[in-house]
Amino acid sequence: MDTSRFADSRTEIAILDFHATMAWRNITAISFLLGRFGDSLILPELSRPMTAGERTVFTCFGWLDVIHPCMDHIKARLRMNVGAEIFEHSMRLQIISTVFDALRIPSDETYEADFFSVSGHTSIHQAVDRHGMTDRM
């Protein structure tokens, strides 16, 4: 995994219609906040939105953690918490592909990806490695 381009929270990945901004990273893991940029704040004490300027307001809808390399047969792990609309299978596969490309994780790497929301949880697993080996029965 190559996280060198993520020097600070201003570096982002476009994932579906979200912006993933780096929250933290270490040698084998990186975490992103998932949200959208806007130009206004809505505060309870104001009768109308307060304009703050283009792309100055980040509304966070969830998070994404990526760990690679892991020391067992499964080399990459993704955990994502965002709305239930991400539970369409094609969207989940697109997220995995986008993240792998952005972090330069080989596309044929073994992985487990867990997607969480308030209403449920689903997973996608690629347990067969590039040599045709698996740790599953």
**Cα separation, 59 vs 34, whole angstroms:** 8
What is the maximum alpha-carbon separation in the chain?
61
In the block, residue with structure tokens 């995995």? 96
Structure token pair of residue 112: 């487990």
> What is the pLDDT of the chain when averaged over all its residues?
88
pLDDT for the residue numbered 85 = 67
What tens digit of pLDDT does each residue of 86-96 get?
668 888 999 99
The pTM of this model reads 0.85
The number of angstroms, rounded, from the C-alpha of 20 to the middle of its chain's C-alpha atoms is: 6
Structure-model confidence comparison of residues 44 and 76, the more confident one: 76
Q: Please compute the mean of the pLDDT values over residues 15-36 and round it to a whole number.
A: 92
What tens digit of pLDDT does each residue of 53-62 get?
777 788 888 9
Whether the CB-CB separation of 97 and 49 falls below 8 Å is answered with no
Structure token pair of residue 85: 């609309």
- Lowest-confidence segment of 36-40, 74-78, 90-94, 103-107 by average pLDDT: 36-40
Sign of CA dihedral 3, 107, 81, 65: negative
